[in-house]
Structure 1
Amino acid sequence: MYAKLETRTFLAMLVGVSLAFFLLMKPFFGPIFWAVAIALIFHPVQNLVAKWLGPRPNVNALVTLTVCMVIVIIPVLLLVTSLIAQGVELYQQIQSGEIRPGEYIDRVNQSFPAIQSFLAQFDINFGEIRDKAVSLFVGGSQFMAKQALGIGQNTFQFFMGLALMVYLAFFLLRDGHQLVELLIRALPLGDERERLLFAKFAEVTRATVKGNLLIAIIQGALGGLIFWILGISGALLWGVVMAIVSLLPAIGAAIVWVPVAIYLAAVGQLVSAAVLTIFGVLVIGLADNLLRPVFVGRDTKLPDYIVLLSTLGGIVMFGVNGFVMGPLVAALFMAFWGIFIREFGHEAQTVRHPGTGPMPEDENPSGRVDRKV
């Protein structure tokens, strides 16, 4: 009895201390999460480096991290800086009256009065849509201006988070295998189940980060290129915006280029509008429809609709990190249920008897059930 009390007390304190540690680490969730993602994505690179340099963990991790910084972290920082700078400039032009979003929408309404008539059939007020669109446009530019001001005022905090991410990524690259083995020993789920779940976690993280970021880069580059060719101002800004919104499956970059194509048609630039529409549908749209199932859906083993719903839900729950967290939670959900069905479902009620195939459990003399994961 006393031994059971000791065990229960220890387990209760273990849960309490673990919860306290989780709350302690909560402010650093972003840097920790992306450090884990970097370690998982660049693990194959680390293996190649290890083949070239031999078993030198510190050097291999440092070289791998340097490669990551050169090809990912530094370019992303430069791109975000350019986006914020152009966003601030756009906000200043709106405040000074150089850009009037409401006039653009009114111009579209004047050129296509059928739009207002069509909306009226469904009791939709075009004026309300106009006001909301203007507020969204102004709010977006204001948000980027606030982000620029926030980064300027919290430069130390920003760079501290960045340094923490890089620092953790180094140790995860160096000691990641040992940490996984330690977790497998500690968690009471069964080694085979734990290895399967950790493998699924790594697989989904790699697929969603690499796949979504690659698709975002491709769509943003294609969108910015066509805007630049057509002479649309702020091509870099809109290219980056298209890259960001392309994280939303099925909707993506169309949020940006469709309204621009409609406006070009409204002001009489029919050739430019046609070129942008054709390019958006056949090139930008197909890049999403063809590449996303290949890079994301195939590697995560998730249906396309689950990828879409989990991505949208993840962004709502976790913010920008949700485009990875959402599919990750969905994949782990399906992995857990897959294990449950295999072990405790109808198939688990039969055992395989040598030479005779499956045999009901109540006819098995040993009473053992083969629970193969």
Structure 2
Amino acid sequence: MDIVDSPIKIEVRHWTLIAALLVAFYACYTLIEPYVGSIVLAFIVSLLCAPLHGWIQKKIPNRANTAAALSCTLLTFIIIIPLAFVFAAILNQSLRFFTDSYAWFSSGGAKVILDSPQVTYVIDLVNTLPIDPISAQEIAQNAASTLSKFSGQMLGLSSKFVGDITGVFINFLLMLFVLFFLLRDHEKIIQTLRHVIPLSRSQEDTLLDEVEKVAKSAVLGSFLTALAQGILGGFAMWLAGFPGLFWGTMMAFASFIPVVGTTLIWLPSAIYLFLIGDWQWALFLVIWGAVVVGSVDNLLRPLLMQGNSGMNTLLIFFSLLGGLHAFGLMGLIYGPIVFSVTLVLFHMYEIEFHQFLDKQDNS
């Protein structure tokens, strides 16, 4: 008997090759780990702009490089130019808001708040407790000091943001570079994945389709929800007299925070309005934030994500919460993908071993 063809020799050879591949994959991952975010983002963008790229390919057939380059160029103009104007306006509004707030606070604004009946009542109530007494003047001094430090931090943060533009630009170029090859070689990449995955064609279709659907739904569910909450919240803040673009953007970012979300923005604003006597606008912000902005997060996000991924609301919640904890902002994409792929693999397991499982149930 030929030793090379013996089952034991083949099995050892196969496992050795698989182990070597796993080590090689891990080594490759350590090399590209700093750029995984840009690569995953390019993958998501390639799925979202697939209709546009398909239309361009039909207009210029047999010119894959030109079509991919044109798609990336159009995407650059669609994203970069509007975002540049928006970020400039946000930066301008934020600096003006904190500068004006500090000037108002220092020129007597603190006295207006501290002399209000509500604040006076709270101070008197606190002073009845067995702790060191506090005074309105002490609160004003501490608040002014805190606001001054916060304004300085905002200025430093703005300077850091401007300094980080270079890094953001480099990451965007890297994303475009990866996106070019994903668009140009999409069919080759899919064929290669189908060839190397040791599953049946139907299982491969199920797995790849689920990853694509969940990746799209994660972007739609998270980022469109944040956009909607930012627009609605910013509109309400503008009506109440605050810089709408800046605080709307802050609400959009706050919407990614589980449980509390945009409440971190509109609730302190409502309390401030109540303390200065604008209780009508304070009540408006509370109602608008809880009913309108809150309903967007409770209805739109599960609707967009569950409609494509097949996961129920509980799994969506934990996939987003766990993804944010483990991977940061990109976890909003990673988390749902991990959960959905697990569910697909579990379904495949049920189908593959259904005879054994049925036998166990009947035993």
Same fold (TM over 0.5): yes
The answer for unaligned runs of 5 or more in structure 1 is 121-129, 351-359, 362-373
Q: Which residue does the alignment assign to 1:211? A: 221
2:202 pairs with 1:192: yes
2:267 pairs with 1:290: no
Instruction: Look up the equivalent residue of 2:297 and give its one-letter code.
Output: D
**Residues 248-301 of structure 1: per-residue CA shift (max 9 Å, x gap):** 466432221122112212221011112222322332222233322222221222
2:42 pairs with 1:35: yes
Q: Which runs of structure 2 are paired with 1:132-281 in the superposition (5 Å)? A: 148-153=158-163, 155-232=165-242, 234-248=243-257, 251-281=260-290
Q: Which residue does the alignment assign to 1:355? A: none
Instruction: Look up the equivalent residue of 2:279 and give its one-letter code.
Output: L
Q: Which residue does the alignment assign to 2:332? A: 323
TM-score by length of 2: 0.77
User: Which 10-residue stretch deviates more, 287-296 or 219-228?
Assistant: 287-296
> What is the aligned counterpart of 1:16 among 17, 23, 30?
23
Following TM superposition, by how much is the alpha carbon of 1:36 offset from its aligned partner in structure 2, in angstroms? Answer: 0.7
Following TM superposition, by how much is the alpha carbon of 1:166 offset from its aligned partner in structure 2, in angstroms? Answer: 0.8
Q: Which residue does the alignment assign to 2:132? A: none
Following TM superposition, by how much is the alpha carbon of 1:321 offset from its aligned partner in structure 2, in angstroms? Answer: 0.9
CA contact (8 A) 1:35 1:169 kept: yes
2:339 pairs with 1:340: no
Q: Superposition RMSD on alpha carbons, in Å? A: 3.9
Structure 1's 265 and 150: CA in aligned 2 closer, same or farther, altered over 3 A? closer
**Number of positions where the alignment pairs a residue of Structure 1 with one of Structure 2:** 338
SS in 2 for 1:264: helix
CA contact (8 A) 2:47 2:216 kept: yes
Partners of 2:258 and 2:233 in 1: CA distance: 16
Following TM superposition, by how much is the alpha carbon of 1:175 offset from its aligned partner in structure 2, in angstroms? Answer: 1.1
CA contact (8 A) 1:219 1:246 kept: yes
Structure 1's 137 and 23: CA in aligned 2 closer, same or farther, altered over 3 A? farther
Following TM superposition, by how much is the alpha carbon of 1:145 offset from its aligned partner in structure 2, in angstroms? Answer: 5.3
**Residues 38-87 of structure 1: per-residue CA shift (max 9 Å, x gap):** 11111122223334444532233233323433333443454445545655
Structure 1's 229 and 87: CA in aligned 2 closer, same or farther, altered over 3 A? closer
2:68 pairs with 1:61: yes
Structure 1's 164 and 206: CA in aligned 2 closer, same or farther, altered over 3 A? same
How much identity, in percent, do the aligned residues show? 27
Structure 1's 286 and 11: CA in aligned 2 closer, same or farther, altered over 3 A? closer
Structure 1's 270 and 31: CA in aligned 2 closer, same or farther, altered over 3 A? same
TM-score by length of 1: 0.75
CA contact (8 A) 1:219 1:242 kept: yes
Instruction: Look up the equivalent residue of 2:218 and give its one-letter code.
Output: T
